[in-house]
Structure 1
Amino acid sequence: MSWTDERISELTRLWEQGLSASEIGKTLGVSKNAVVGKAHRLNLPARPSPIKRGGSTKPRTTKPMIKTPDRIGKMECRPATPVAAQTHSHEPRVARPALKKRSVVKSANSACLWPIGDPGENDFHFCGEPAVSGKPYCQEHCARAYITKTRDESKAA
């Protein structure tokens, strides 16, 4: 639909008569929103809103939805039930002799880079055992770092 000069003058005339946008739209065969948009682009004077504002001047008070007791009794606390620690490795750990401490700078590309200790402490170091080919860790630390799901676990997930 195009807005011809004749349709624009009709819109302006009906607007000045005070007809609503939907009434003007029915007369012109367009939607209410088309009338409002064109009136805005033509800078036609705004009209008072048909929605009544104001109403009651006294403030509204809300009532509480649920009455709460003034005092809530102390709940009895029970100690938590202990949970068995989960181990990720199914193979028993083998005790190894003490390793020579290595820093990451001194570690060769083929040395295990598993961190041992707290990085903020002076005794922090890396494992240093020979690393598995293509991995940053030795065999023991690869077993701890790369956990594979069993068939039963993957079905449950």
Structure 2
Amino acid sequence: MSDFDWNDERISALRKMWSEGLSATQIAARLGGASRNAVLGKVHRLRLQDRAPGCAPKPKTERIATRKKLQLARPPKPTVKPLVGQAQFARKKPDPVKVAEVKSIELRPAPIDMPKPLLTALIDLGRTDCRWPVEGEKSHMLFCGHPAQPESSYCAGHHRLSVGAGTRSERLAIPSKLMVA
């Protein structure tokens, strides 16, 4: 918090300067010790909206026209020529013939042999039972109940469902991992 106190004298000065059309930054500088945000906050709390004529923001069409004039006034950007040897790093479009020759490898998980859920209540589940919710809501939820995999809350079938296919980069990394191993 700032050490600036809003007394009656400063509030009347704020009202006067705000109605004259001074900006919050200018008012803060003249009051001394107040920040721009402190002035804007006080203006908001006092609900001071009326401003002097001529200090209202420009209509949008004027701002766009001004911006276009500034863009036209700028000198054109110089074109950059590639350095010697950079041409070899330029991206080339793939050869359609070679692309057609590449066979797409589609990795699909092996079919999951899902056991029929035992429909066990949470209170009846053991420490190593599958906690995959099967049906019900809130306190009436029933779970799979089959033996869970080591270091997992789910049986083998539900564990595979919970892991998912992974990200694209993870899926693409699988063949390279197989080649390394």
Q: TM-score, normalised by structure 2?
A: 0.33
Larger radius of gyration: 1
Q: TM-score, normalised by structure 1?
A: 0.38
